[in-house]
Structure 1
C-alpha cells in the first residue's frame, strides 16, 4: 500500500488548513487520545513512525510526523490528507468522523468492499417447523422467537444459517463477503445467483421435510457496505443504485450483460439516480441507509455511532418471517381455501407480531426506529399483516 513518499513533509498537501491563529479550533479529541497514553508529541511521532515501518508503509519520518501532530492538535490543519487520515484512524482504531468530525470525509479506502446478506424465506407449516427445530438451537438477540442451525450444503461462497419460526416459516440467511469493481457487477451477480439459491433452498427443504412447498421461496438482499471509494453525490448515487440494482439489468436478457450494465451505471452516476420506491433512513454524518422493495443498503461512515450489522439482520429476519407467513395466508385465500393454521398462531398471534414490528420500543433509538420503519414501509408488511389478521378472523382462526 503506497502510504506516501519517505522523507517528505506531507503536512499540508491537499489538507484543509486554518488561515489565522484566531480562527483555529484545537482538536481536543486528538490531544486527549495522545495524553491518555501519557505521551508527548515526540513520543507519539516516534510510535507512529514505528507503526508505519511495521506495516511497510513509507514514513515521512518522526520530525515531519511531529509537525503534523502539532498542526492537527492546534487546529492549524482541520482535515488532513489521505496519508495522515489513514495513519491516525488505524493507529488509534477510530473512524475519520470520530477523530476529525467532518461529515463528508474523503474515503480512506480505494477498494469497494461489502457484505451481502440474502434472506430466502419459505413457508413449511407449523408441524414441519417443529420437527426442524428439534435439530436447532434457540436463536439469541432476535426480535421474534425462533431457532437456528448452520447449513453446509448450500452452493455459495459464504456462510448459511437456517432460521425456523414455530408458526411455520423458515428463512435461509446467506452471508457473502464481496469486493466488486462496480455496482453493475453486483447487479449481474445478484440476477444470476437468485435462481440458483431459490432452487437450492427448494430442494433442501423438500428433502428434509419430505413434502412439497406450497409456494416457491423468494430472495431479499441487504448490503452492508464497508468501504466505498467515492465521495459526495457519487457515493450517494452508488448506494441508491445498489438499493435497486435491477435498473442496471432490466434489458430482458436471461443472462444480463455486464458491459451493458456498466454503461447504464456510468450514465446514472453522471446524471444522478433516485427512485420513488427508495426510503432514506440514514443519519447525516453517521451513515447512509436506503430501503426499497428490492432490498436494503447500509453504509456506516461513523461506525462507532451507527447501527450495528446485527441490528439490520435481526430486523430483516423477523420482517421476512412475518411476510412469508402472511403470504401463505394470502395465497390460500386466492386458491379459494381458508388457511389452516394452529389456533395459537391465529389472528391474535399475528396481531402481536404486527405490534412488535410496527410499534416503537421504550429503549429504541431514532436510528433503530428509522431503520425499522423504512424496512416495514417498503416491504408493505404492515398492510400485509393487517390483511392476514382480517382473513384469519373471518376464518375463525
Structure 2
C-alpha cells in the first residue's frame, strides 16, 4: 500500500494521473474545483494540502486497485518524486523531442441545406446507419488536399457534412496546430463554393454557407511516452496553447520553448473528457475536437467508429442550430420533410444518448465523452421544444 505522509500538490496531481481521470472528473470525485487540481499540477510540492483535503485523498487512495497503486507508487519513486526540483524552476530539457509525429486529421464541415439535399441523392451511394440512425448517402468530396477516402455525406434531414481526411507528418504539434487554424479558413471557403457548385448543377436555388469545422485526430506514431504522450493528446485536443491565433500574418506556432515547457510540466485542460482504456487506448474529447491514440491496435476502437459518431453529432448540431436560429429570428423552421419534426429529433436524441445492449465499454465511453463536450443533447432538446411549439 502506497502511503503519503505529507500530501502536496505533486502527490495529489499524480494520484489523479495514476487513476487516468480527467482534471474535471478527478475534481468531481474529490469534491474540489477543477482549478484546484490544475494548481496542484502546476505548483507541485510548493503547495501543502490542508488536513481535510489530505483525509479525502487518503480515503481515495485506500479505494484504489492494485494497478493504480502500482502506478502511483512508481511515480512516488521516480525522479520527479520528493526532493526533485519544482517543474517551474527546472531548466528546459533541450533534448526533449517535439516530434516528428504521424497524425491523420479528420475534419467535419457541416452545412444545413434543407431541400437542397434531395437532388444530390441521385448520384450518391447509400451509407450504413451510424449511432444516431440517420439516413444518409455519400459522394466523393473532391477536396484538392485530402485523401481519396474524403467524402461529402448527404443526410436526408437536410444537412451536408464534408469529411476531409488529411494524413500529416509534422515536426511538432505547434506546426500541426498552425496548419489546422490556417487550413480552416481555406476549407470553409472551399466547402461553401463546392456545395454551391453542386447545388447549381442540380438546379437548386438553396444557398449554402459553411461556418464551422470540427477536427478529430488519430495519432498514429510519435516519440512520446507516458505523461508526455498524455500531454500530446491534450495539446491535440486544445491546440490554441501552442499557437498565436491573432498574429498579423495569420496563426503562428509559438515556438520550441512553449512546447517543451508543456511537455516538461504536463498540461491538461479541465474541459477535456478522457475516454481511453488503460493499456488499450488513449482518447480525449473537447469542444473543438477529439484526439485518439491506440496502444493495442487490435483491441482499440477503429477510427471509423469515432468518425461515424461525429458525422451524426455534427449533422444534428447543424440541424438544431438551424431550428434555433430560425426561431430566434422570428421565423418558423422549414424542414425538408414533415417526417423530420420534433418527434424525429426526440428519437435521434434517444438513440445517441441511450446505451445499447451490444455496445462495448470503449464505444460507450467515447460516445458519452463526445456528447458531453459537444453539449448536443441539451441543444437537441431545445430544438425539439422549439419545433413542437411552432406547430402548436
TM (norm. structure 1) is 0.69
Deviations 1:343-387 (A, max 9, x none): 200000100110111111110011000000100110110111010
Aligned to 1:394: 389
1:267-289 Cα shifts (integer Å, max 9, x gaps): 21122111121000001111100
Partner of 1:253: helix, strand, or coil? coil
Q: 1:375 aligns with which of 370, 377, 391?
A: 370
CA distance in 2 between partners of 1:246 and 1:263 (Å): 15
Question: Residue by residue, what CA displacement relative to the aligned partner does 1:76-108 show, whole Å, maximum 9, x if unpaired?
Answer: xxxxxxxxxxxxxxxxxxxxxxxxxxxxxxxxx
Deviations 1:8-45 (A, max 9, x none): xxxxxxxxxxxxxxxxxxxxxxxxxxxxxxxxxxxxxx
Please state if 1:296 is matched with 2:290: yes
Cα shift at 1:396: 1.1
1:163 aligned partner: 153
Q: Tell me the distance in 2 between the aligned counterparts of 1:330 and 1:276.
A: 28
**Structure-2 residue corresponding to 1:323:** 317
Aligned equivalent of 1:198: 188
What is the aligned partner in structure 2 of residue 263 from structure 1? 257
Offset, 1:130? 1.1
Of the three residues 162, 165, 190, the one matched with 1:172 is 162
- Which structure: larger Rg? 1
* Aligned residues of 1:215 and 1:328 also touching (Cα < 8 A): no
RMSD: 1.6
Query: Equivalents in 1 of 2:223, 2:190: separation in Å?
Result: 34
Match of 1:284 in 2: 278
TM-score under structure 2 length normalisation: 0.70
Q: Matched residues in 1 for 2:121 and 2:102: separation?
A: 35
**Which residue number corresponds to residue 235 of structure 1?**
229
By relative contact order (CA 8 Å, sep 6+), the higher-ranking structure is 2
Cα gap change, 1:230 to 1:329, in 2 (>3 Å): same
How many angstroms apart in 1 are the aligned matches of 2:100 and 2:219? 11
* Displacement after TM superposition at 1:134 (Å): 1.1
CA distance in 2, matches of 1:252, 1:382: 32
Partner of 1:139: 127
Alignment match, 1:207: 197
Aligned to 2:332: 338
> What is the SS of the residue equivalent to 1:179?
strand
Note the alpha carbon deviations across 1:139-164, whole angstroms, 9 max, x for none.
12533221011122x23142320001
Match of 1:353 among 342, 348, 351: 348
Deviations 1:167-205 (A, max 9, x none): 100100000111111110110000100000000010111
Q: Give the conservation status (yes or no) of the 8 Å contact 1:123–1:213.
A: no
Cα pair 1:221 1:294 within 8 Å, conserved = yes
Contact preservation (8 Å) 1:201, 1:217: no
After superposing on structure 2, the runs of 4+ consecutive aligned residues of structure 1 that deviate more than 4 Å are none
State how far apart, in whole Å, the 2-side matches of 1:207 and 1:264 are. 43
1:264 Cα offset (Å): 2.2
TM-superposed deviation, 1:112: 1.7
User: What is the distance in 2 between the residues matched to 1:309 and 1:390?
Assistant: 34
Q: Matched residue of 2:170: which SS?
A: coil
How much has 1:213 moved relative to structure 2?
3.6
> Cα–Cα, structure 1 residues 275 and 213, in superposed 2: closer, same or farther, change >3 Å?
farther
Cα distance in structure 1, aligned partners of 2:375 and 2:352: 12
Q: CA deviation at 1:257?
A: 2.3
Q: Is this contact kept in 2: 1:285–1:302, CA < 8 A? A: yes
* Alignment partner of 1:121 out of 90, 101, 110: 110
How do 1:33-182 residues align onto structure 2 when only pairs under 5 Å count?
111-125=100-114, 127-140=115-128, 142-143=130-131, 144-152=134-142, 154-159=143-148, 160-182=150-172
CA distance in 1, matches of 2:331, 2:129: 36
